[in-house]
């Protein structure tokens, strides 16, 4: 055998050593497999039985149990199950658990791809480490590349204090990815435990936030800090519980009784969404006749314009049966937003609610609707607007609170939107609010009114007070104004309405127009981005 040297040793000796090394490597293969299996088991068990039991005793599921319920059975493919933190400070180097407190990967919901991460509170309280953040960033990157939504299940004590600025850097990177993914793929957050400090801004940057009543909380500063700084005593639930954020702050869109209900409703909601901004809305089998007429709509609007009615009933009678998924139902109730289906296709619904403040637009309603409209526009979801609005809410509270600026957000959102825009005026459409609510003047594609519509600068009584202030027969002037100006005919004569339709035919008309507009193509002037009045 040749004795030619290779790296300073003979070939014969090299081959002999290689054989030995090979045997040394293959001999403990079963040991390596045991190590891999043990690490995988460690990752699956999280913080151990005691901590899992503590999670259950709080009425909460573990990170993996949540993913099992959220995703289609057997579809979850995990990433980075063996990842461990790299921190050596404060004795953490001796406390390493595979997975490091977050479970990441992809799966399907109703057969459609989705990327997920689920924070594991049983491991270091679900706190965010640098390696933990890298796991989350990886699935976010993959979601954007593939074109699939991201769902984050939040249950974390916040930044891992022992890692200092590294954990803060982790949050920063996640925030940046949230912004880059915004408008590219849908981002959904389900807050299922604590979410405090800087951690709240990742959910806040996503498109929709769901919470679990009694067990989930969101706040920038906790009760102890609030007491120290402001001397105000407040508990977690009042400060940042689900009721607070779905009724008062408007931070969260919906809240549910427990983990199981929240996960099921997330599955339901996911089914309405396109997978990315390059996809069209999903189409589902529609068993509700496309040309169905509903005679009840002909009489649903009261004869007297000051009598309220429930716009929810109008929505349910127009959309495919049982298809409306309302968002933020307990916040800014004077406007309704949500996703539904018409002829099996997802549409976004924006509607004034006469039962609350007569459907007038105020600060909260304007912001609520504007954000929803911009989501729909980003993801090719057609907009259906049902209008019964007496105007913007008057008063010093609204003016001093910036109703001009906030109302302009709603105006901006409708003006900017390039998706199909269908508008039905059911009754009042007065003043600036008429313009703002997806009027023909804002590039509306199909604008119609019911015979009960009243389209004018203001109501008859207010107009007569201005025009005929000293007239002896104001009731006569009001009737004359009503007949001449506050009818849909005046707007239709000028082409500001495409038609005046019988209410019972609304569903069929909208479905027909949606089909017609499926090839709509319109672009705004090129720009880096607009300057919406935030």
Residues sharing a CB contact under 8 Å with residue 226, sequence separation 6 or more, in sequence order: 232, 234, 239
Three-state SS sequence of 185-230 = CCEEEEECCEEEHHHHHHHHHCCEEEEECCCCEEECCCHHHHHHHH
Helix H segments across 27-102? 29-45, 49-57, 63-70
Among the options 197, 348, 444, 459, which is catalytic?
197
Distance CA 295, CA 293 (A): 6
Among the options 147, 183, 198, 431, which is catalytic?
198
Q: Can 170 be counted among the known catalytic residues?
A: no
Q: Can 240 be counted among the known catalytic residues?
A: no
Among the options 433, 449, 486, 492, which is catalytic?
433
Among the options 344, 432, 462, 508, which is catalytic?
432
In terms of DSSP bridges, do strands 194-196 and 217-219 run parallel, antiparallel, or are they unpaired?
parallel
Of 512, 485, 519, the C-alpha closest to 498 is 512
Distance CA 491, CA 425 (A): 11
Radius of gyration of the chain (CA): 29
* CA 7 distance to own-chain centroid: 61
Q: Can 433 be counted among the known catalytic residues?
A: yes
Three-state SS sequence of 382-395 = CEEEEEEECCECCC
Of 83, 79, 72, 154, the C-alpha closest to 113 is 72
Q: By the 8 A CB rule, do 428 and 389 touch?
A: yes
Q: Can 152 be counted among the known catalytic residues?
A: no
Active site (catalytic) residues: 197-198, 432-433
């Amino acid at each position: 055998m040749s004795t030619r040297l290779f790296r300073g040793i003979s070939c014969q000796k090299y081959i002999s050593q290689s054989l030995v090394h090979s045997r040394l490597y293959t001999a403990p293969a079963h040991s390596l497999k045991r190590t891999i299996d043990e690490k995988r088991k460690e990752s699956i068990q999280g913080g151990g039985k005691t901590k899992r039991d503590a999670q259950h005793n709080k009425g909460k599921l573990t990170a993996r149990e949540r993913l099992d319920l959220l995703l289609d059975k057997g579809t979850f493919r995990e990433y980075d199950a063996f990842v461990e933190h790299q921190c050596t400070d404060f004795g953490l180097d001796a406390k390493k658990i595979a997975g490091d407190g977050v479970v990441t990967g992809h799966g399907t919901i109703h057969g459609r791809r989705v990327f997920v991460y689920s924070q594991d509170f049983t491991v270091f309280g679900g706190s965010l480490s640098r390696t933990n953040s890298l796991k989350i960033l990886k699935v976010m990157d993959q979601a954007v590349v593939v074109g699939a939504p991201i769902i984050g299940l939040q249950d974390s004590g916040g930044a891992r204090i022992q890692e200092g600025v590294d954990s803060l850097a982790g949050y920063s990177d996640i925030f940046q990815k949230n912004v880059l993914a915004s408008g590219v793929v849908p981002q959904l957050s389900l807050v299922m435990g604590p979410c405090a400090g800087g951690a709240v801004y990742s959910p806040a940057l996503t498109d929709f936030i769901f919470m679990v009543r009694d067990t989930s909380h969101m706040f920038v500063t906790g009760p102890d800090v609030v007491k120290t700084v402001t001397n105000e005593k407040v508990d977690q639930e009042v400060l940042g519980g689900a009721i607070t954020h779905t009724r008062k702050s408007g931070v969260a869109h919906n809240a549910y009784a427990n983990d199981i209900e929240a996960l099921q409703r997330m599955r339901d909601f996911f089914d309405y969404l396109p997978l990315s901004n390059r996809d069209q809305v999903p189409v589902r089998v529609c068993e509700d006749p496309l040309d169905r007429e509903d005679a009840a709509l002909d009489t649903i609007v009261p004869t007297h314009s000051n009598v309220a009615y429930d716009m929810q009933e109008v929505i349910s009678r127009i959309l495919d049966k049982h298809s409306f998924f309302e968002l933020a139902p307990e916040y800014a109730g004077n406007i309704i937003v949500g996703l539904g289906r018409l002829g099996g296709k997802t549409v976004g619904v924006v509607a004034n609610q006469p039962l609350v403040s007569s459907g007038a637009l105020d600060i909260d309603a304007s912001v609520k609707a504007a954000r929803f409209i911009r989501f729909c526009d980003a993801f090719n979801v057609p907009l259906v607007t049902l209008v019964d609005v007496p105007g913007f809410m008057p008063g010093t509270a609204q003016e001093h609170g910036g109703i001009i600026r906030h109302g302009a957000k709603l105006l901006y959102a409708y003006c900017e939107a390039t998706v199909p825009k269908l508008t039905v005026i059911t009754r009042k459409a007065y003043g600036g609010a008429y313009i703002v609510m997806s009027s023909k003047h804002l590039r509306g594609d199909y604008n119609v009114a019911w015979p009960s519509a009243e389209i004018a600068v203001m109501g008859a009584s207010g107009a007569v007070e201005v025009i005929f202030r000293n007239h002896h027969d104001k009731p006569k002037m009001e009737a004359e104004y009503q007949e001449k100006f506050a009818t849909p005919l005046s707007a239709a004569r000028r082409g500001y309405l495409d038609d005046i339709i019988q209410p019972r035919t609304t569903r069929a008309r909208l479905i027909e127009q949606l089909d017609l507009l499926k090839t709509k193509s319109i672009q705004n002037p090129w720009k880096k981005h607009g300057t919406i009045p935030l």
